[in-house]
Amino acid sequence: MIPDSVGMKSIAKLAVIYATDFVMIILVFFSCDKGNLPPVSKLTAFPSIGDTSILFEFNADESEDDRSFTIALQYRWDFDGDGVWDTEYSNNSAIAHQFKQPGNYNVAVEVKDIDGLSAIAGDSVEVFGENLDIDTLHDSRDGNKYRIVKIGGQWWMAENLRYGIVIPTDREQTDNDTVEMYRILQSIGWDTVGGIYLWLETMNYRVNDPKGICPGGWHLPTREEWEGLFAPYPPLYSLQYYGKEGLSNLNLDLNNGGFRMEDLFIGCFIGNPHVSGFWSSSYTVEDQEYLPYFCSFSSDDHFLFPGYWSNSGLTQYYSVRCLKDN
């Protein structure tokens, strides 16, 4: 049997140990509390590439703070990366901005919490301006003149080809050593709309010669060249940039092309964006049938490329834009 005095000493010793451990826990707990931390700021830009005609959206919604609700955070913006804030603080975590000059911009947002602590996040955007590389192509075959523009180091026709003799819509284009075309809706401007052609007619019935019916020194763009034209620009805005009166001055527009279906209906793409198209020289072969590729528009007025008219490619008629040889 343990004497009472010994038992009391053991209990006291245990109490001291527990008390010491408790104090240590408290100290560790408070030592981990480093006080209020600045916000974690995050910024995204959409789109990352655009032109001077569109609004870029900058969003800092995902910014957060350890002690402030998101609604309590404040934001201010520097759109040109010069270190000077272009706005005052506000509760707007997203903002739209239009750049008046082309260039690369480093956009910054400063996020501040209710205690005045702040953090900065950034993102960059590339802004295209108006394309001023514009010239004129003289077609010596018939005297036609075409506006041409240089995009991505290559010269493109900014008007649809209108070379050949006009035939009535009830007559087919055939391999007869004469370039034939259909003329469409003269009332809206023949020089702008140009002609529309069967793919084989466009290729001058030599499917492996990309020159086709283009003027000397020019050729029908390949599928890859069409894709490369649009690659630098976000698809969502490609029609706005490359379309009618767009800053590229290429003027690929739904009102700037024609089509002819198998039932001999002929007209412009007005109201029919799902059937618009411009021929390429590229093709595939399935079941011994040529399936040519064309650059087409989708039904929501955005570019959709590449595409080909499966199983009926040789019986569709579209517009032609030529590309200068390198």
Q: Is residue 28 part of a domain?
A: no
Please tell me whether residues 103 and 211 are part of one structural domain: no
Q: Report the CATH number that the domain containing residue 61 is assigned in CATH.
A: 2.60.40.10
Q: Is residue 30 part of a domain?
A: no
pTM: 0.76
Please tell me whether residues 184 and 259 are part of one structural domain: yes
pLDDT confidence of residue 24: 42
Please tell me whether residues 96 and 241 are part of one structural domain: no
Cα–Cα nearest to 233, from 168, 151, 113? 151
Domain extent for 262: 134-324
β-strand 277-286 against 218-219: which pairing, if any?
unpaired
pLDDT confidence of residue 188: 47
Look up residue 313 and give its two tokens: 């490619």
Please tell me whether residues 141 and 238 are part of one structural domain: yes
Q: Is residue 27 part of a domain?
A: no
Chunked into runs of 10 residues, the chain (326 residues) has average pLDDT values of 48 45 40 72 95 96 90 96 96 97 97 95 96 97 96 94 89 92 60 79 96 98 91 83 89 62 45 64 88 74 57 74 96
Distance CA 226, CA 84 (A): 41
Please tell me whether residues 205 and 278 are part of one structural domain: yes
Distance CA 176, CA 164 (A): 12
How many domains in the chain? 2
Cα–Cα nearest to 169, from 320, 321, 311, 317? 317
Please tell me whether residues 143 and 119 are part of one structural domain: no
Please tell me whether residues 65 and 107 are part of one structural domain: yes
Please tell me whether residues 121 and 181 are part of one structural domain: no
